[in-house]
């Protein structure tokens, strides 16, 4: 059995580190998430699915979201979660923040989780199950109320990439792949890029619909996304960086033309990308045969239904 699987004796009851990056979040959202994680951990440990669950927060806010007194109250309320908290003192972004949290990890698995996500009680068992196969490198939970429409094999769960709103990966594999590409991605597409590198290394990315996670995403009254200025900027930036890194210069040019005539956020993202390219600060292109990366109708996988 491969060392990333759960078949060996040392992994029959693995240790899971849950990690989240905070950024100016309401403490009530954190508490709601912890309540669900505590219940899920209790059930999983009781059933012998895992031996330990810890939760570690990294705070990228301008000032701490959790003060010392609140941290102690949370530790007393959720003792099974072995809660720890680190104030970064700077906005590291999602990718670098998670890399920082994973640096000293000793857990068998890392659960990358948005700090406001509420998980189902049987989450850990369902997320661990696919790792019985030695070729599984990443497992993604199903999000509600808005399920991500990426295509997946209904028999095996295999899919093109996993969103890290709630995703599990072996800590050893995460370190071997260098974690998230924080030098390239600040906020978006670090999970797509990591998923593709997992597949590039010969492992599978699995969507597990039985593992349910509530992610509080809301649409307008017309059923459309309501992105903020920051979301528009970082989405445009990530799109250019993904196309460049995964050897699609044709898409770089197409997106550049589109963003050049777009809104202020898109133009700013294009300007930043062009400055990085001129100064040699872009990643080396990979996957020239396009065996891994998928760019389909502006998305990074074939979708089951339109957004």
6 has a pLDDT exceeding 50: no
Q: Averaged over 45-60, what is the pLDDT?
A: 97
Class of residue 28 by CB neighbours under 10 A (exposed 0-12, middle 13-18, buried 19+): exposed
294 has a pLDDT exceeding 70: yes
Residue 182 phi, psi (nearest 5)? -75, -20
Pair 248, 295: CB distance under 8 Å: yes
17 has a pLDDT exceeding 80: yes
77 has a pLDDT exceeding 70: yes
Q: Residue 161: which of 129, 184, 189 has the closest Cα?
A: 189
**CA distance to 21, 138, 254, per residue, from 55 (Å):** 11, 19, 42
Question: What band does 5 get if pLDDT is binned at 50, 70 and 90?
Answer: low
Q: What is the pLDDT of residue 65?
A: 96
b/e per residue, 93-131, with b = 16+ CB within 10 A? bbbbbbbbbbeebebbbbbbbbbbbbbbebbbbbbbbbb
2 has a pLDDT exceeding 60: no
Look at strands 204-214 and 158-159 and give their pairing.
antiparallel
Q: What is the pLDDT of residue 278?
A: 97
Place of tokens 């670098």: 96
Q: Architecture of 9-214 per CATH?
A: Alpha-Beta Complex (3.90)
Q: What is the pLDDT of residue 1?
A: 34
Pair 14, 6: CB distance under 8 Å: yes
28 has a pLDDT exceeding 70: yes
> Cα angle vertex 244, ends 232, 142, to 5°?
55
3 has a pLDDT exceeding 60: no
Q: What is the pLDDT of residue 148?
A: 85
- pLDDT tens digit sequence for 111-149: 999 999 999 999 999 999 999 999 999 999 999 998 888
Instruction: Provide the CA 189 distance to its chain's centre, in angstroms.
Output: 9
- pLDDT tens digit sequence for 160-208: 999 999 999 999 999 999 999 999 999 899 999 999 999 999 999 999 9
**Comma-separated ranges of CATH 3.90.550.60 domains in the chain:** 9-214
pTM across the whole model: 0.94
Question: What band does 8 get if pLDDT is binned at 50, 70 and 90?
Answer: very low
- pLDDT tens digit sequence for 197-220: 999 999 999 999 999 999 977 666
Class of residue 299 by CB neighbours under 10 A (exposed 0-12, middle 13-18, buried 19+): middle
Look at strands 84-87 and 52-59 and give their pairing.
parallel
Question: What band does 228 get if pLDDT is binned at 50, 70 and 90?
Answer: confident
């Amino acid at each position: 059995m491969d060392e990333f699987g759960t078949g060996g004796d040392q992994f029959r009851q693995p240790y899971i580190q849950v990690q989240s990056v905070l950024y100016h979040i309401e403490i009530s959202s954190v508490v709601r998430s912890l309540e669900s994680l505590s219940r899920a951990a209790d059930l999983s440990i009781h059933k012998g699915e895992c031996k330990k669950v810890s939760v570690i927060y990294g705070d990228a806010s301008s000032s701490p979201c959790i003060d010392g007194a609140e941290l102690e109250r949370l530790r007393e309320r959720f003792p099974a979660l072995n809660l720890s908290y680190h104030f970064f003192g700077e906005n590291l972004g999602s990718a670098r923040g998670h890399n920082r949290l994973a640096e000293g990890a000793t857990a068998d698995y890392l659960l990358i989780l948005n700090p406001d996500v509420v998980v189902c009680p049987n989450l850990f068992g369902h997320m661990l199950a696919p790792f019985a196969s030695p070729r599984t490198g990443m497992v993604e939970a199903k999000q509600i109320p808005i399920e991500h429409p990426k295509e997946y094999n209904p028999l095996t769960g295999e899919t093109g990439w996993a969103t890290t709103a709630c995703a599990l990966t072996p800590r050893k594999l995460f370190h071997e792949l260098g974690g998230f590409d924080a030098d390239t991605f600040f906020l978006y597409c670090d999970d797509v890029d990591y998923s593709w590198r997992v597949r590039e290394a010969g492992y599978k990315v699995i969507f597990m619909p039985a593992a349910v996670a509530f992610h509080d995403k809301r649409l307008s009254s017309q059923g459309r996304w309501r992105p903020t200025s920051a979301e528009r900027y970082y989405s445009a930036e990530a799109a250019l960086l993904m196309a460049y890194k995964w050897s699609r210069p044709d898409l770089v040019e197409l997106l550049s033309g589109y963003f050049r005539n777009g809104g202020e956020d898109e133009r700013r993202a294009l300007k930043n990308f062009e400055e990085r390219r001129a100064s040699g600060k872009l990643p080396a292109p990979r996957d020239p045969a396009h065996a891994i990366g998928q760019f389909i109708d502006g998305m990074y996988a074939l979708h089951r239904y339109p957004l």
